Amino acid sequence: MSKVISHSLFTDFDIDLFKAGKHFRLYEKLGAHLVTVDNVEGVYFAVWAPTAHSVSVVGDFNFWTKGEHLLQVRWDSSGIWEGFIPTISKGTTYKYSIQSNNGGAITEKADPFAFYCEKPPHTASVVWDLEYQWKDTAWMETRQNHNGLDKPYSVYEVHLGSWKRHAEDNRFLTYLEFAEDLVNYIKETGFTHVEFMPIMEYPYDPSWGYQLVGYFAPTSRFGNPQEFMLLVDKLHEAGIGVILDWVPSHFPDDAHGLGFFDGSNLFEHPDRRKGYHPDWKSLVFNYGRNEVRSFLISNALFWLHHYHADGLRVDAVASMLYLDYSREEGEWEPNIYGGRENLDTISFLKEFNEAVYSNFEGVQTIAEESTSFPMVSRPTSVGGLGFGMKWMMGWMHDTLEYFQKDTVYRKYHQNDLTFSMTYTFSENFMLPLSHDEVVYGKKSIAGRMPGDEWQKFANLRLLYGYMFMHPGTKLLFMGCEFGQSSEWNFEGSLDWHLLQYPYHEGVKKLITDLNKLYKTQPALHEKQFSPEGFEWINYSDHQNAVMSFIRKGNEPKDAVIVVCNFTQVVRPNYRIGLPKKGKLIEIFNSDAENYGGSGVSNSKKIIIEAMPYDGRDYSAELLLPPLSVSVFKIS
Beta strands in 90-246 (DSSP E): 93-100, 106-109, 116-117, 125-126, 154-158, 193-196, 200-201, 214-218, 241-246
Please state, in angstroms and as integers, the Cα–Cα distance from residue 554 to each residue in 120, 525, 527, 530, 534, following that order: 51, 10, 7, 11, 12
Active site residue 513: no
Q: Are 482 and 508 in contact (CB under 8 A)?
A: yes
What's the CA gap between 298 and 473, in Å, rounded?
A: 28
**Total number of residues shown for the chain:** 635
Q: Which residues pair with 245 in a beta bridge?
A: 313
619 backbone dihedrals φ, ψ, rounded to 5°: -160, 170
Q: Single out the catalytic residue among 118, 351, 368, 427.
A: 368
Residues 6+ apart with CB under 8 A from 133: none
What's the CA gap between 255 and 83, in Å, rounded?
A: 24
What's the CA gap between 87 and 81, in Å, rounded?
A: 20
What's the CA gap between 552 and 35, in Å, rounded?
A: 57
For the chain, counts of helices (H) and of strands (E): 14, 29
User: Helix or strand or coil: residue 326?
Assistant: coil
User: Helix or strand or coil: residue 576?
Assistant: strand
115 backbone dihedrals φ, ψ, rounded to 5°: -85, -10
Nearest to 627 by CA among 362, 478, 449, 499: 449
Active site residue 368: yes
Beta strands in 531-634 (DSSP E): 534-541, 546-551, 560-565, 571-578, 582-589, 606-608, 618-624, 628-634
DSSP 342-389: -HHHHHHHHHHHHHHHHH-SS-EEEE---S--TTTTS-GGGTS---SE
Q: Maximum Cα–Cα distance for the chain, whole Å?
A: 95
333: number of Cβ within 10 Å: 12
Q: Are 503 and 457 in contact (CB under 8 A)?
A: yes
Pairing status of strand 582-589 against strand 628-634: antiparallel
Please state, in angstroms and as integers, the Cα–Cα distance from residue 24 to each residue in 146, 250, 359, following that order: 26, 20, 10
Please state, in angstroms and as integers, the Cα–Cα distance from residue 31 to each residue in 8, 127, 255, following that order: 12, 9, 19
What's the CA gap between 212 and 219, in Å, rounded?
A: 10
What's the CA gap between 218 and 564, in Å, rounded?
A: 43
What's the CA gap between 61 and 365, in Å, rounded?
A: 41
169: number of Cβ within 10 Å: 6
Q: Single out the catalytic residue among 315, 427, 481, 586.
A: 315
Q: What residues are annotated to the active site?
A: 315, 368
